Structure 1
Amino acid sequence: MAEVLDAGPFFHGTIADLRVGDLLKAGYRSNYRPEVVMNHIYFTARVDGAGLAAEIAAELAGGGAVPRVYAVEPTGAFENDPNVTDKKFPGNPTRSYRSSAPLKVIREITEWTRLTPEALQMWRERLIAVPPDKRGEIIN
């Protein structure tokens, strides 16, 4: 029997406009390195972590993209996200995960901590300052 990493609930941040029952799947370009097609779908047990990911995706997409957070349910096995666990934070304090199996959308979350205009400006400046080819390795 596989070890249960986290009981959830789980969340995914994106700019996609999804409906209950939709499946989020791997095989799309990374929000952070668009030249990389992702082998996994990423999610977290922290709603504000998903919100941050959605806000960053919206910033990178430009043009008024709407950040969205969805409650999701893994449909298969998942693992700690190696892009943040141990590599950046010992253990998994961010409660970040990935799966090669789809995530099922349960509902949209409308109450999450949005970035202040100042924090959003800080992220915008950080993202602009780092060229896309220097944004770091993605363990895919």
Structure 2
Amino acid sequence: MEFSPFNHVVKLCIQGMSMEEKDHHEEARKLFMQGWDEATNDHEKFLSAYYISRHQKTVSDKLKWLETALQYALKINDSTVESALPALYLNIAKCYEDLSDPQKAKENSELAAIQLKNNPSDKGPFYHGTKAALQIGDLLVAGGNSNYKSEFKMNHIYFTALVNGAGLAAALAKGEGRERVYIVEPTGVYENDPNLTDKKFPGNPTRSYRSQTPLKIIGEATDWHKPNPEELQKFREKLESSEGEIIN
């Protein structure tokens, strides 16, 4: 399953997070439980269980939901959730530490370290969304202005492994040209985008990355979903109130 902010269960989780930000924790818990009850696949179960764990009154109950989230994450076994495994294992280790089980805490801490060593493990293909007209062979380099807020200088170049995520970035980018989604190839090392990873959602479900080395354009993707005007307006409003976080 490709992560999408327009998925029904993801929308419920987003609504729950909004309630958390307003300190309406009981309303948030109900929304996350609704997501669990209405989930139809392993990925939706994983997400909702993760959020439910944050609203448990005892360490034992929190551990139960974290291990449920881990169970579904391991069943999915793809790059969408692999980046969430280090934090999941560390949270589980903390629960075992609080429950005075140092052996289990150590086991899960070691599993977190193994997962961190392998992240990011995404092999692509990778995409970059923009309104700039570029050619195959051109290089996208860090140091330019943000696609969304021109007052921000970018120390990294950002990209994603989700073609529809890059399409959303292209639709939101400033400029008068048509939306373009380029297929890109990193020329050096890259890392999970820290603006997104483990901030709102567990791990890096948007498969968003950044690099200080250039991205080489190797093609252009044409088969991607263009958000409708109402969806775009909601994202534009979020960008206006943000501090320059990257959507890509």
What TM-score, normalized to structure 2? 0.48
Does 2:158 match 1:42?
yes
Q: Hey, what does 1:8 align to over in structure 2?
A: 124
Q: Hey, what does 2:232 align to over in structure 1?
A: 120
Name the structure with the higher helix share.
2
**Contact 1:73/1:106 (<8 A) preserved:** yes
Aligned length: 129
Does 2:139 match 1:30?
no
Q: How much identity, in percent, do the aligned residues show? A: 59
**Contact 2:186/2:216 (<8 A) preserved:** yes
Query: Of 136, 150, 155, which aligns to 1:20?
Result: 136
Q: Select between 85-94 and 97-106 the one with higher mean Cα deviation.
A: 85-94
Q: Note the residue ranges of structure 1 that are not aligned, 5 or more in a row.
A: none
SS at match of 1:93: coil
SS at match of 1:72: strand
Q: Note the residue ranges of structure 2 that are not aligned, 5 or more in a row.
A: 1-116
Show the 5 A alignment for 1:44-83. Answer: 44-57=160-173, 60-61=174-175, 64-83=176-195
**Contact 1:26/1:101 (<8 A) preserved:** yes
**Contact 2:133/2:177 (<8 A) preserved:** no
Q: Hey, what does 2:206 align to over in structure 1?
A: 94
Q: Deviations over 1:53-100 (max 9, x none)?
A: 00000xx43xx3311101100000000000111122221111000000
Give 1:89's aligned amino acid.
F
What TM-score, normalized to structure 1? 0.82
Q: Distance in 2 between matches of 1:42 and 1:79?
A: 10
Q: Hey, what does 2:242 align to over in structure 1?
A: 135
Find runs of 4+ consecutive structure 1 residues off by over 2 angstroms: 2-5, 117-124
**Contact 2:126/2:183 (<8 A) preserved:** yes
Give 1:13's aligned amino acid.
G
Deviation of the 1:123 alpha carbon: 3.7
Give 2:180's aligned amino acid.
R
SS at match of 2:171: helix
Q: Distance in 2 between matches of 1:122 and 1:9?
A: 28
Q: 1:83 to 1:105 in 2, by over 3 A?
A: same
Name the structure with the higher strand share.
1
Q: Distance in 1 between matches of 2:181 and 2:230?
A: 21
Does 2:219 match 1:107?
yes
Q: Distance in 1 between matches of 2:215 and 2:137?
A: 9
Give 1:91's aligned amino acid.
G
